[in-house]
Amino acid sequence: MIELEVYAKGLRATNYLMELRGQMDMLPKVRYKIDVRHDLVYFEIDDPEEVSLKQIHCLFTDIGLNPRFVGQIPDSLRPDGETVRLS
């Protein structure tokens, strides 16, 4: 299992919360918890081969938020052989 934390400024607004919950339907095998007081989303991913950083990044950008990954990104989620700047 992999844990990932994402900060998205402005997430606590009701419209963004509802839209993010709708977006999470696209990733049914990913569990998540939203910390609205700190604009954070905690992800738990059982099989990292089913989810990519790009998919998680798109969950937020599709609803108009700019996600920032907190801490070290697990190697199993990193793109092979390339470095990608997310911010």
Please, how many CA atoms are within 13 Å of residue 44, restricted to the half-sphere of its CB? 5
* 81 pLDDT higher than 60: no
Domain coordinates in residue numbering, the chain: 2-77
pTM: 0.80
Q: Looking at domain 2-77, which CATH architecture does it have?
A: 2-Layer Sandwich (3.30)
Position 26 confidence tier, pLDDT thresholds 50, 70, 90:
confident
Position 85 confidence tier, pLDDT thresholds 50, 70, 90:
low
**Mean pLDDT score, 32-61:** 90
User: Cα separations (Å) of 36 from 9, 13, 21, 42, 85?
Assistant: 10, 9, 13, 11, 25
* 38 pLDDT higher than 80: yes
Task: Quote the CA–CA distance of 76 and 9 in Å, as a whole number.
Answer: 26
Task: Quote the CA–CA distance of 62 and 59 in Å, as a whole number.
Answer: 6
pLDDT of residue 41: 95
pLDDT of residue 14: 84
